[in-house]
Amino acid sequence: MKNLLTQIIVILLILTVGLLLLKFYSAANVAQMEKIGNLKTENAVLQKEKDDLSKANEGLLQKNKVLGIEKAQLELANRYLKTDFRKARIEVLEQKFDSANPQKVLETKIRFTEFDSDTGSIVARPAEFTVRGDMIYVDALIVKFDDVFVEAGDFLKNRSLVSFQRIFGEEQAPSDGYRTDAEHQIPAVYRSGNENDEASELEKQIWENFWDISNDPERQKELGIRAIHGEAPAQRLEPGRLYYLELRASGGLSFRVE
């Protein structure tokens, strides 16, 4: 009887411990499942935040790309606006004065040299002219494109164009002046490569039909031209000075004295 009671007590103890252990492990399992559930929720939140950040990053990259393009365009436009696209130097070689009036200049001998605005190299063989008087005029044809093309750095319309026609003095008629660029032809400085390269259709249209286009507002609009006309800047010459004739991207011709 005593042994039976002992066995019963042992069995009850074992069951009690088992129940306690089962209760403990069940509680631990529930806590573990809750923890896993919380982790899954946090992971979903983190994944959503990651996706949102990825989208935001893509947006920033795209924005930076656009800003980079705009910055490059602005830098290019600013460079075009500041760059001289035709530059020529006029040197006074000699002046002859009136023996009866020493203050009056009868003739001025000059040397006309055109340079590449980027490299500084001479574009064509320097030419020497003798004009009457000491006031020189440079007769030119000017084409100015709409500002939007200059600002955007358009490949063909990013700068004003000029064709030097004649150089003459104040005491002579323009028709008696000395021709520089060939009439109705694209100036050599605008041609790419060698002389056999085919010129752009736009420039061919302009120079071959300059005066027709200047009298046709509709055609000017089609070609993106805001101004097309003749221009003849003048400068009184003095010995010992250098005179630079320059054309900027969005403007006309101007003299600079050194």
CA atoms in the 13 A half-sphere facing the CB of 224:
17
Instruction: Provide the residue range defining the domain that includes 42.
Output: 1-82
Q: What pLDDT does 112 receive?
A: 93
Report the number of secondary-structure helices (H) and strands (E) in the chain.
Answer: 5, 10
Taking the C-alpha atoms of residue 153 and residue 155, their distance in angstroms, rounded to an integer, is: 6
**Domain end among 58, 82, 106:** 82
Claim to verify: residue 147 and residue 64 sit in the same structural domain: no
**DSSP string over 215-257:** T-HHHHHHHTEEEEEEE--EEE--TT-EEEEEEETTS-EEEEE
Taking the C-alpha atoms of residue 201 and residue 187, their distance in angstroms, rounded to an integer, is: 14
Claim to verify: residue 78 and residue 107 sit in the same structural domain: no
**Domain end among 38, 58, 82:** 82
Taking the C-alpha atoms of residue 212 and residue 219, their distance in angstroms, rounded to an integer, is: 9
Joined tokens for residue 150: 């200059």
Claim to verify: residue 148 and residue 88 sit in the same structural domain: yes
Claim to verify: residue 51 and residue 92 sit in the same structural domain: no
Claim to verify: residue 114 and residue 241 sit in the same structural domain: yes
Claim to verify: residue 78 and residue 88 sit in the same structural domain: no
Claim to verify: residue 75 and residue 96 sit in the same structural domain: no
Claim to verify: residue 40 and residue 137 sit in the same structural domain: no
Claim to verify: residue 54 and residue 41 sit in the same structural domain: yes
**Domain end among 23, 55, 82:** 82
Taking the C-alpha atoms of residue 247 and residue 253, their distance in angstroms, rounded to an integer, is: 5
Q: 3-state DSSP helix/strand/coil percent for the chain, to nearest 5?
A: 45, 30, 25
Are residues 138 and 164 in contact, defined by beta-carbon separation less than 8 angstroms?
A: yes
Taking the C-alpha atoms of residue 122 and residue 166, their distance in angstroms, rounded to an integer, is: 19
| 10: Cα separation from own chain's centroid | 96
DSSP one-letter code for 198: P
Each residue's pLDDT, cut to its tens digit, for the chain (258 residues) gives 656 667 666 666 676 766 666 666 666 666 666 677 676 777 776 677 777 777 777 776 676 665 655 665 555 455 444 455 678 899 999 999 988 888 899 999 999 998 876 677 777 788 999 999 999 999 999 998 887 776 666 666 777 888 889 999 999 998 889 988 888 887 877 654 444 445 577 888 898 999 999 999 999 999 999 999 999 999 999 988 899 988 876 667 889 898
Report the candidate in 124, 129, 106 with the shortest Cα–Cα distance to residue 114: 124
Claim to verify: residue 131 and residue 48 sit in the same structural domain: no
**Count of domains in the chain?**
2
DSSP strand pairing (84-98 vs 161-169):
unpaired
Output phi, psi for 121, to 5 deg.
-80, 155
Claim to verify: residue 55 and residue 90 sit in the same structural domain: no
Bridge partners of residue 111, in order along the sequence: 91, 128
- Please give the torsion angle defined by the CA atoms of residues 164, 166, 170 and 176, in that order, rounded to the nearest 10 degrees: -170
pLDDT digits (tens, 9 = 90+) for 179-218: 888 888 878 776 544 444 455 778 888 989 999 999 999 9
| pTM of the model as a whole | 0.62
3-class DSSP state for residue 121?
coil
Are residues 250 and 234 in contact, defined by beta-carbon separation less than 8 angstroms?
A: no
Claim to verify: residue 114 and residue 6 sit in the same structural domain: no
Report the candidate in 146, 142, 258, 254 with the shortest Cα–Cα distance to residue 206: 142
